A and B are shown apart, each in its own frame.
Chain A
Amino acid sequence: MALPGTQATAPPAIELRGISKAFGPVQANRDISLVVPAGTIHGIVGENGAGKSTLMSILYGFYRPDAGQILVGRRDAGITDSQSAIRAGIGMVFQHFKLVPNFTVVENVILGAEDGALLAPSVSRARKELRRLAAEYQLDVNPDAVVETLSVGHQQRVEILKALYRQADILILDEPTGVLTPAEADHLFRILKGLRDRGKTVILITHKLREIMEITDNTSVMRRGEMVATVPTRETSPEQLAELMVGRKVLLRVDKAQAAPGTPILELSGLRMVDRAGVERLRGIDLTVRAGEILGIAGVSGNGQTQLLDILGGYPEAGAQVTGTARLAGRTLPLSGTDARARRHAGIGNIPEDRQAEGLVMDFSAWENTVLGRHRDAGTALMDNDAIRSRAAAQMERFDVRPRDPELAAKNFSGGNQQKIVVAREIESRPILLLVGQPTRGVDIGAIEFIHRRLIELRDAGAAILLVSVELDEIMALSDRIAVMFDGCIMGERLPDATSAAELGLLMAGASPSGIPPEQGQPDPDEREPAKGVI
């Protein structure tokens, strides 16, 4: 259903009519209609679990809809599986790539689109075709590289090449930039614009409204399985889109009072860590986090942040050598131990970077997950499950976890809601120090706002918070002080009001900024200027 004002001059490339899809009790898509004009880039936004991936997977024939019709170029495309979708000219780059990791690029490209029973002819044709596509769309990859050795950005190119090799006219990309560095994301956008210039239609799912504003022609908004609006992008604003997504006004900025730092809670000095392979991951970290403040650690991922959080959480990598001293609220904290339980007991809360691997047991129900790490507190071997359940229900209410069903297994919640379960558990354990790693990775803006507010509340209640994030916007918005990490070192500390993204970008790239005034510092190519006021 195109709203008045949509750029509908072009004929529709795709039209969805009344698509519905349920996964068991979850209604992922409800009576969805959508028109995508040919030759445009069409954005789709919506909260975690709104049903974006499901809808696109239906379009690609991966799931069968319970009801509804898919028209491609005004004709019923009869899409029943991915093969028929490919024949109709649709290609899709999934949120989680569908590549064979130990195959070469060529093998991945021809898989399912071979020319005959023998491989050799297909391979040589694919090589030629890949060279042509590389030249036409800036999609260079070595055809003989094994996919698992490629960076995520290059793997994504392989996925795009797969679609183009099958002569897709309509390309769907599901959260393509979530895994990319800013420079890779810019490159991707140039590719997408190139595709549009050659008359192809692109559908782009993203959580980043900045990207929507930057590249799309029209934007559709989904909320809780329904399509709530489709608007021309230049007639809308991030604020309006956010409101449409969440169904209420969303503050794209975090409102916070001046911090009132108290006594030092965490004091680290000379923290070093050498991993099993003998690589020095942390090279003498000195840090202080005070009660009532948020210390943000900025940095490109892989510069020692994970190791720092793991050591503080009490589960350093096996075989690692840790030296240095740490004090928690004035008392010495033994660093070498692997004792996460003692850390929790001492008042350290932990929102780990990988919620699915470290924060939750995915097959456990929500209520069971809310007691993990606290399950010994009662002091008896028997669990009072009824009490845990009712506490979990109340916690889910306070943290707006949807659906509000404590019996549902963690894996059946969307990413944002999984994160809320972890955040609720950790914040409500009233830590004196909270470790926070990538709290909003892959999380929608409604949930981001919510999680940010809760972190500020915890700070105002007097807790010390150590925040690690690769999202510079998040660091800038939440931190009272910012430390930049590069190659296992703290490159410097800044106050958020007295620094710029450009200066932080320089520090993140390992450049010493001394002598270069922030205004003149060349921003690192990997560093994009965060748009003001947009998450």
Chain B
Amino acid sequence: MDYATILQILDSAVRLMTPLLLACLAGLYSERAGVFDIGLEGKMLMAAFSAAATAAVTGSVWLGLVAGILAAVGMSLIHGLAAITFRGNQLISGVAINFLASGLTVLLGQSWFALGGRTPSLEGAARFGSITLPGAETLRSIPVLGPFYAEVVSGHTALVYVAALLVPGTWWLLYRTRFGLRLRAVGENPASVDTAGVSVPRLRWAAVAICGMLTGLAGAYLATGLSAGFVKEMTAGRGYIALAALIFANWRPWRALGATFLFGLMEAVANRYPELDMGFVTIPSMVMSALPYLLTVIILAGFIGRATPPRAGGEPYVKER
């Protein structure tokens, strides 16, 4: 395997990582605040559809992005209403969101575009174009680092860089600001926040809204950055993979970057080598493309490391029985 191939795989890993990272950070905000969110998948799907549909109709990827965010935030509000205001079961609400998105996207897609649930292919300004970072071409001649910069670091769409910046941003917000302190506290022991004179619902609503925005970015990126349009069930379990990555990352931002990169890398390798020839044995493509999902199962089953979820996660805050 030569250096150029490695760079290609890494480049593709970064692209494939991005929706996972955005969704993973989305889940991080929500779950750190104590609201478990199994509905990442549905929100992403809904956002992907809205973004693609809007971009197809208006021809503007930015309007598509706004529509994607709005759609995901809208779904988040449903989850917030069920989980925070009505103190319902967060798992059930999340599953309902996934079903809702899965059905609604196809139904609306078919009735608006009559393409069997897809949206029309996007091109030009209706898609995110890649950004060449300054100096990418001039530095290319520097051995090893130059091509790495030009191939892997440069040349992605805006949302990839947004996602990358969100990692230190989230870390800073979580550990360096008042909002972060309160957010982490409300996921561990909401009564401590309440008795400190801070509103528990308000904090959780803020977290759920942020979660909506980030899944919006993730979905929009899928449909208008990574692909050129919406296809039925195009999230393909990425919401669940992001959840697995979140657990693997132990609900921390930098580790989320690492975990989602690992998943992205696996997908990239599987795409590049549908059948991996290991010399003595050839790994069939089925196994290769199942890799990220297998890893998800292994992580969710708790085989890797010890995850310590936010203590109050999944439980509505009820003061009076």
Task: List chain A positions with a Cβ less than 8 A from chain B.
Answer: 23-24, 60-63, 81-86, 92, 94, 98-103, 107-108, 110-114, 116-120, 122, 162, 411-412
Task: List chain B positions with a Cβ less than 8 A from chain A.
Answer: 175-182, 184-185, 188-189, 191-199, 311, 319-321
Q: Which residues of B contact A99 (CB under 8 A)?
A: 189, 192
Q: Decide if the interface of chain B is mainly helix, strand, loop or mixed.
A: helix
Instruction: Name the distance in Å between A373's Cβ and chain B's nearest Cβ.
Output: 26
Question: Which are the 4 A-B pairs with shortest beta-carbon distances?
Answer: A112-B196, A83-B197, A114-B178, A98-B192
Q: Which residues of B contact A23 (CB under 8 A)?
A: 320-321
Q: Roughly how many angstroms separate A415 CA and B309 CA in the complex, as a whole number?
A: 30
Q: Which residues of A contact B184 (CB under 8 A)?
A: 100, 103
B185 touches A111 (CB 8 A): yes
Q: Roughly how many angstroms separate A83 CA and B193 CA in the complex, as a whole number?
A: 10
Q: Which residues of A contact B175 (CB under 8 A)?
A: 119
A-B contact count (CB 8 A): 82
Asked if A112 meets B188 with Cβ closer than 8 Å, knowing A24-B321, A119-B181, the reply is no
Instruction: Name the distance in Å between A21's Cβ and chain B's nearest Cβ.
Output: 9
Q: Which residues of A contact B194 (CB under 8 A)?
A: 62, 82, 98
A63 touches B320 (CB 8 A): yes
A-B contact pairs, 7 of them (CB 8 A): A61-B197, A92-B195, A108-B192, A110-B181, A113-B197, A117-B177, A118-B177
Identify 12 new A-B residue pairs, CB closer than 8 A, beyond the known A107-B181, A411-B321: A24-B321, A86-B197, A98-B192, A98-B194, A98-B196, A100-B185, A101-B189, A110-B181, A111-B196, A113-B197, A114-B181, A119-B176
Of B180, B181, B191, B198, chain A has the most CB atoms within 10 Å of the CB of B181
Q: Roughly how many angstroms separate A101 CA and B320 CA in the complex, as a whole number?
A: 23
A111 touches B188 (CB 8 A): no
Which one, B181, B199, B320, contacts A111 given CB within 8 A? B181
Q: Which residues of A contact B181 (CB under 8 A)?
A: 107, 110-111, 114, 119
Q: Which residues of B contact A102 (CB under 8 A)?
A: 188, 311
Instruction: Name the distance in Å between B187's Cβ and chain A's nearest Cβ.
Output: 9
Q: Which residues of B contact A83 (CB under 8 A)?
A: 197-198
A112 touches B320 (CB 8 A): no
A113 touches B196 (CB 8 A): yes
Instruction: Name the distance in Å between B3's Cβ and chain A's nearest Cβ.
Output: 44
Q: Roughly how many angstroms separate A415 CA and B193 CA in the complex, as a whole number?
A: 26
A103 touches B191 (CB 8 A): no
Which one, A62, A110, A118, A411, contacts B195 given CB within 8 A? A62
Q: Roughly how many angstroms separate A110 CA and B182 CA in the complex, as a whole number?
A: 10
Instruction: Name the distance in Å between B48's Cβ and chain A's nearest Cβ.
Output: 34
Q: Which residues of B contact A111 (CB under 8 A)?
A: 181-182, 185, 192-193, 196, 198
Q: Roughly how many angstroms separate A81 CA and B181 CA in the complex, as a whole number?
A: 20
Q: Which residues of B contact A108 (CB under 8 A)?
A: 192
Q: Which residues of B contact A62 (CB under 8 A)?
A: 194-195, 319
A103 touches B195 (CB 8 A): no
B321 touches A100 (CB 8 A): no
Q: Roughly how many angstroms separate A101 CA and B182 CA in the complex, as a whole number?
A: 14
A100 touches B189 (CB 8 A): yes
Of A23, A24, A98, chain B has the most CB atoms within 10 Å of the CB of A98
